[in-house]
Amino acid sequence: MTSLFFSSGIFAQENIIPSGDFSSLRKTGIAKVIEVVNPLTVNLDNGGIIHLAGLDFPDLDFYESGDLAITAQKILEDFLVNKKVIIYQTKSKDKGHTNRMGHDIAHLVRANDNIWTQGLLLSLGVARVRTTQYNPEMAGQMLALENGARTNKSGMWNMDEHKILSPEQAEEYIGSYQIVEGKVQSASLRKNKLYLNFGNNWRDDFTVAISAFNLRKFVKAKIDPKQWNGKLIRVRGWIKSYNGAYMEIEHPERFEALFKQQQNMAGD
């Protein structure tokens, strides 16, 4: 039995030693972490600043963070400070390497034991998955760890305020990043957008939209949302107000096709 104990005393978890398959990424260096600025940002001894790819902290506020973000920062401080890390970044030549602050966007692996930083935070339930269109890599592995933490009711997944929303609840959370799960009632292509409606009235129900341009990414991934009528899916993103609660999605990794998981389980 392997345990990870944190000096902060907030978590003592058994068997949480997540590693990952980084073949979809490119190794870009090794450096020592000298400071954890916040749960998304660490400073390196070579002067580099890393933004941790693929993560979201629901209560992170750069002026006054909540308990989850504070816990995540303490975990990172115990886990990374004065430790060497292997840096992995997207293989894209021109996009996804830095954020608007100029920080390098990367996945970090602690060099001495190959523990994946993002995987650790997701396994503990102090972070959830938030990929971007330019950094979608590792989504499948991260979602699996998030789902495992949710099943175990770890961290945020034992708190009502961080629950997965139903389509009917989405309107209460306009203006925030959320995860919504429900059955698609209709799928229609209008004015170069695909609309997935989760109710009987598109004027006020929860709707997910995908532009015709972004649908190309789904085709490339061999995914066809136009065939999702009556299908159970999970989607994550920023909820806006447009004929009810509305979410626009620009890459396939923001979806989980739960009906396929059900089919796979039925076939086992």
pLDDT at 204: 86
Domain termination site, one of 127, 158, 189: 158
Contact 217, 252 (CB under 8 A): yes
Instruction: Give the residue among 81, 76, 87, 66 at the shortest CA–CA distance from 8.
Output: 76
Looking at the structure, tell me whether residues 10 and 68 fall in a common domain.
Answer: yes
Looking at the structure, tell me whether residues 207 and 253 fall in a common domain.
Answer: yes
How many CA atoms does the CB half-sphere of 33 hold within 13 Å?
26
The one-digit pLDDT tens for each residue of the chain (268 residues) are 233 334 333 343 445 578 899 999 999 999 999 999 999 999 999 999 999 999 999 999 988 999 999 999 999 999 999 999 999 999 999 999 999 999 999 999 999 999 999 999 999 999 999 999 999 999 999 999 999 999 999 999 999 999 999 999 999 999 999 999 999 999 999 988 999 999 988 788 999 999 999 999 999 999 999 999 999 999 999 999 999 999 999 999 999 999 766 555 455 5
Domain termination site, one of 143, 158, 173: 158
pLDDT at 259: 77
Number of domains in the chain: 2
CA distance 236 to 230: 19
Looking at the structure, tell me whether residues 127 and 21 fall in a common domain.
Answer: yes
56 burial class (0-12, 13-18, 19+ CB within 10 angstroms)?
Answer: middle
pLDDT at 261: 62
Contact 197, 207 (CB under 8 A): yes
The CATH number of the domain where 191 resides is what? 2.40.50.140
Domain that holds residue 263: 164-267
Looking at the structure, tell me whether residues 134 and 196 fall in a common domain.
Answer: no
Instruction: Give the residue among 250, 260, 264, 258 at the shortest CA–CA distance from 181.
Output: 258
Looking at the structure, tell me whether residues 154 and 169 fall in a common domain.
Answer: no
Looking at the structure, tell me whether residues 142 and 37 fall in a common domain.
Answer: yes
Instruction: Give the residue among 164, 52, 191 at the shortest CA–CA distance from 117.
Output: 52
Q: Considering the entire predicted model, what is its pTM?
A: 0.90
Looking at the structure, tell me whether residues 172 and 129 fall in a common domain.
Answer: no
Looking at the structure, tell me whether residues 129 and 197 fall in a common domain.
Answer: no
Tokens of 66: 């909540």
Strands (E), the chain: 3-5, 12-14, 25-38, 41-44, 49-52, 55-56, 84-90, 104-110, 115-116, 128-129, 177-183, 186-190, 193-197, 207-211, 232-238, 240-241, 245-248, 255-256
pLDDT at 11: 41
Looking at the structure, tell me whether residues 214 and 196 fall in a common domain.
Answer: yes
Looking at the structure, tell me whether residues 14 and 139 fall in a common domain.
Answer: yes
Domain termination site, one of 130, 158, 186: 158
The CATH number of the domain where 111 resides is what? 2.40.50.90
Contact 118, 138 (CB under 8 A): yes
pLDDT at 65: 92
Strands (E), 19-73: 25-38, 41-44, 49-52, 55-56
CA distance 146 to 140: 10
Looking at the structure, tell me whether residues 139 and 16 fall in a common domain.
Answer: yes
Looking at the structure, tell me whether residues 100 and 185 fall in a common domain.
Answer: no
